[in-house]
Amino acid sequence: MIWLIRLRDALAATLSYLWSGWGAVASLLLFCALWEYGAHVYGDLVLPGPVATFRQLTHMFDSGQALPELLVSARRALYGLGLALATGTLLGLIAGRSLTAAMFSRPLATLLLGMPPIAWLVLAMLWFGMGDGTVVFTVLVACFPIVFLGAMQGARTLDNKLKDVARAYRLPRRMLLSDVYLPHLASYLFPAWITALGTSWKVVVMAELLTTVDGVGAALAVSRAQLDTATSLGWIVAVLGLLLALEYLFLEPIKRRVERWRTETA
Amino acid sequence: MSALHIRHLYHRYGITEVLANVGLDLYAGEILALVGPSGCGKSTLLHIVAGLLTPSEILVQSDFRGIACVFQEPRLMPWKTAADNIALGLKALGVPRDARRRQAIALGRRLGLGRDDLDKYPHELSGGMQSRVSLARALAISPDLLLLDEPFSALDIGLKAELYHLLELQVRQQGTAVLMITHDLMEAVRLADRILLMAPDPGRLVREFALDRPQETRDNLWVYQTTAELLQVEEVRINFGLSEGTLPPPPPNEHARHAGCTV
């Protein structure tokens, strides 16, 4: 019985979530309208309109040109991102537990955050050559400080009063983690993870453009050389679409589920 | 009979002495109220008994095993439903999920929390409801020593009376010992078997008042009269700033270093 109610609630939540997407769709369509207007003003060579771009994108998928490149880029982005999430979260938590470690590592993280990814890329090319390693490394160093700072902030801001409650009720160590630390941390980690996801894609395309012979970035370089604006825009739209899908269909629902204690029930 | 005995309790934050030579006894089935102005070290004393603070010096003997603490604010985990918050201590004791949920619901009902209230998150509950959950969390582990840090100070009169009644029931039926902090003298007179008067700078015990009348026969008139009488006592007046004067300093510690002396 209680499971039926849970299922019904979950279904209702999903539907209301999808329904709330109309606002986002409207704003995207408005953007397309502006884009179309720009295409009329500047002409097809400089700025192909959304219709022309999507036609080109469909063609790229149909001819089997797009999917392999996207998969290559996705693999590199996810490797780098995965490494950054694992190391950043772990080290951030450790740093957040101690005031000294936090004071010590904060300027370093800010430094890393401020360092342009292109500079890392140059160094990585010198260190790792022109291959996967360079791209993955650049994604890792670009995403790491974002995740690290988020995790550290989360670990630092846990209310001492709640820690006292945990001690007064003699919570074992494992429960301290699962019932006190992690739920609090999730609300700091998720925004950081979402930002890191966006960064990973941006960096991957940039790195590929300069270093590799396959992947979306390399394909962009080719289309640029051929002055093929429609194909370039097609690639950009493909990457953005993938990013939007990952964030709104995957991460956002998880975030809502984990943080349902925050949302006010109507 | 379980009991807690504390002697020669000193606590310092840096060089400021917050507690000086405090000693008290507490027996099962007894309500002991600590009364005093803000900053006299009441909360520090309670935190020491709860094991949240390690004092600079203490001689202590305690047979109490299950200690539960109700804090001044409800301090609920915002990511847990009311029922899960009540069951927190049970979970720490390793009680299986179904059993602790059943206990939480039963206890919630005793404290006037409905089934749908128990599935709500703390931010969806009113302040009064949160206080009930906080008290239920403490009672859930069937403590033999209950520590209360002004848990009723932010509640309305009706709710206070209700929770007083619950507390008396708990003490009478389970023989729980209660150490409660309050700066409401009337609350202390209504509930306590003994009242300990604390003074600040440094935090120390000044006087003890025993109230012999059983709780269930204490009507409003008696509570008002007794409170009024207490307020005529010189030490109480001075301590709460109603009269001029000074209170005696803490008694000197005869055992500068106690080596093996028994309580």
Q: Which residue has the tokens 């006087």?
A: B207
| Chain B partners within 8 Å of A184 (Cβ) | 79
Closest residue of chain A to B86, computed from CA coordinates:
A169
Q: Where are the beta strands (DSSP E) in chain B?
A: 3-13, 16-27, 31-35, 57-62, 67-70, 145-149, 177-182, 194-199, 204-210
The per-residue pLDDT for range A59-95, each reduced to its tens digit, is 988 988 888 888 999 999 999 999 999 999 999 988 8
pTM for this predicted structure: 0.76
pLDDT tens digits along A9-23: 778 877 887 787 788
CB B81 within 8 A of CB B120: yes
**Residue in B47, B67, B91 closest to A175 by CB:** B91
Rg value, chain A, Cα: 22
Q: Which of B33, B27, B30 minimizes the C-alpha distance to B227?
A: B33
Across the interface, of B71, B79, B137, the residue whose CB is closest to A261 is B79
Taking contacts as CB-CB distances below 8 angstroms, the residues of chain A near B47 are 164
Rounded percentage of chain A residues whose pLDDT exceeds 70: 98
Q: Per residue of chain B (263 residues), what is the pLDDT tens digit?
A: 788 898 888 898 888 888 888 888 999 889 999 998 888 888 899 999 988 888 888 888 888 888 999 998 889 998 899 999 999 999 989 899 999 999 999 989 888 888 888 988 998 888 888 988 999 999 999 899 999 998 888 778 888 888 888 888 888 888 899 999 988 888 899 889 999 999 888 888 888 888 888 888 888 899 899 998 988 888 888 888 888 877 777 777 665 555 455 55
Give yes or no for A161 touching B (CB within 8 A).
Answer: yes
Cβ separation of A171 and B79 shorter than 8 Å?
no
Mean confidence (pLDDT) of chain A: 87
Terminal C-alpha separation, chain B: 16
Is there a cis peptide before residue B202, judged by omega within 30 degrees of 0? yes
The model's confidence at residue A113, banded by pLDDT at 50, 70 and 90, is confident
Residues of A within 8 A of B69 (CB-CB) are: 165, 168-169
